[in-house]
């Protein structure tokens, strides 16, 4: 065979090898694994139902898709609508639920300072109100806030007598009224609160019969703030 023919044959062999390599004819070994990871954040959402009404949620609720707000607080329904005279009393019942999927390590109730404001009455162009300076209604009303065993219940349970004197029988056995609602202001620990658990509280306010006419025509306002903490 001539040198030219041998050269051409060699070039054909090299070309064939190159073509086979380029098209993946040669087999290779492979092994692979993969892992997908998802991190999910838990939720702490507090449902608050006053006197059996529709529950209010701790974050803004528009009835559609909602973004949980940074403060995660919401103002819910009022406790009382009645007008009290001396010797009178009024009660409110709260059902509070950890509606999130995360257990709260701690929880608390904060009772604001009581504010006395005029509740004026106008008669024939003349306006009348009580003396909120010398005889504020907050300094006369007495209160109890207690955890009970059921909605509208009367048996103490859990954190028991939260605000009030842990003795006596009025209005609840083992929890009697504070000397004044003003003295009830402060923060109170309520312990751990697991997800989906509902707890029941009663709020009772009485107007002692030792009140004089200066206590007429006033409002006494207090805010209760319930908090869950991780």
CA distance 30 to 27: 10
Question: At 7, is the pLDDT very low, low, confident or very high (cuts 50, 70, 90)?
Answer: very low
Round to whole Å and give the CA distance between 181 and 115.
Answer: 10
pLDDT tops 80 at residue 34: yes
What is the mean pLDDT of the segment spanning 58-69? 86
Which tens digits make up the pLDDT trace of 65-110?
889 988 889 989 889 888 999 999 999 999 999 999 999 999 999 9
| pTM of the predicted protein model | 0.83
The burial class, CB within 10 Å (0-12 / 13-18 / 19+), for 147 is: buried
């Amino acid at each position: 065979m001539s040198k030219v023919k041998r050269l051409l044959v060699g070039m054909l062999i090299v070309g064939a090898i190159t073509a086979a390599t380029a098209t993946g004819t040669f087999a290779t070994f492979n092994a692979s694994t993969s892992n997908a990871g998802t991190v999910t954040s838990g939720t702490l959402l507090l449902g608050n139902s006053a006197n059996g009404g529709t529950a209010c949620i701790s974050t803004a609720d528009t009835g559609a898709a909602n973004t949980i707000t940074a403060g995660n607080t919401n103002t819910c329904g009022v406790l009382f609508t009645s007008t009290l005279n001396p010797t009178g009393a009024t009660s409110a019942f709260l059902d509070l639920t950890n509606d999130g999927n995360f257990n709260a390590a701690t929880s608390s109730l904060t009772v604001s300072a009581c504010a006395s404001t005029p509740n004026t009455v106008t008669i024939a162009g003349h306006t009348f109100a009580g003396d909120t300076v010398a005889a504020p209604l907050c300094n006369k009303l007495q209160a109890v806030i207690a955890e009970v065993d059921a909605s509208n219940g009367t048996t103490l349970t859990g954190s028991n007598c939260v605000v009030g004197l842990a003795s006596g029988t009025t209005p609840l056995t083992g929890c009697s009224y504070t000397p004044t609602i003003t003295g009830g202001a402060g923060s109170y620990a309520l312990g751990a609160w697991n997800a989906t658990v509902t707890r029941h509280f009663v709020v009772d306010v009485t107007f002692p019969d030792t009140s004089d006419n200066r206590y007429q025509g006033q409002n006494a306002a207090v805010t209760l703030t319930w908090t869950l903490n991780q």
